[in-house]
Amino acid sequence: MNGFERRKQIKMNNIIEAALSLFLEHGISKISVAGIAKEAGVSQVTIYNYFESKDNLIQEVFRYYIHQIWEEYVVLLNRDIPFPEKVKTIIFDKSLVANQINEEFFDYFMKDYMKKDSYIMKFYTETALPRFLELFAEGKEQGYIDKSISDEAILLYIQMFADYMRREDVGPSLLPLTEDLTKLFFYGISGKGMD
């Protein structure tokens, strides 16, 4: 990558990070390209040259956000700590994410998730799901997940959650329930932890 391309990439990342910060705090509709340009320290023309439209920028921001969150999970999943600690951290982090995200941004995120050709769904299927299956295998090895439960059953369980979350009528009600749903996913309705 030459100097020009490197500077361009740095500017694009600054724009994406500025837009993400503004979207998380204020939502999408309240933020203009002019506001993003001001926050990123660039001109509106630069944003349009790099992204062509606000919609394209929003898509890039979502991709960036997904990868940013995933990188944090990868660090957690690779840590040498017991399975219950990883699960508790996932639950705690999910509630933190839910508390810091603007509702409009979350709704937009969920609408994208509901699409058949969704980037989120593709990323989930190809990247996140295999890694979470490794986490469940780790839980089985450490005796926290019943070894008689097949990977197919675990995948079906995960898919039921994912399919329900993709329903249009569900999206708006999910944000306040994020922590409860994560606990339900890992602990079931008995609520018994792995202490």
pLDDT tens, 166-195? 666 766 676 677 778 777 877 777 666 555
Instruction: Using the predicted structure, report yes or no on whether residue 10 has a pLDDT greater than 50.
Output: yes
Question: Predicted confidence band at 46 (pLDDT cuts at 50, 70, 90)?
Answer: very high
Average pLDDT rounded to a whole number, residues 16-31 = 94
Instruction: Using the predicted structure, report yes or no on whether residue 12 has a pLDDT greater than 60.
Output: yes
Percentage of the chain modeled with pLDDT above 70 = 86
Per-residue pLDDT tens over the stretch 114-147: 777 788 888 988 998 899 889 889 989 988 888 9
Q: Are 181 and 174 in contact (CB under 8 A)?
A: yes
Instruction: Using the predicted structure, report yes or no on whether residue 45 has a pLDDT greater than 60.
Output: yes
SS (H, E, C) 90-118: HHHHHHHHHHHCCHHHHHHHHHHHHCCCC
pLDDT of residue 1: 74
Domain locations in the chain as residue ranges: 79-195
Q: Token pair for residue 106?
A: 């979350």
Instruction: Using the predicted structure, report yes or no on whether residue 99 has a pLDDT greater than 60.
Output: no
If you average pLDDT over every residue of the chain, what do you get? 84
Q: Token pair for residue 103?
A: 């509702």
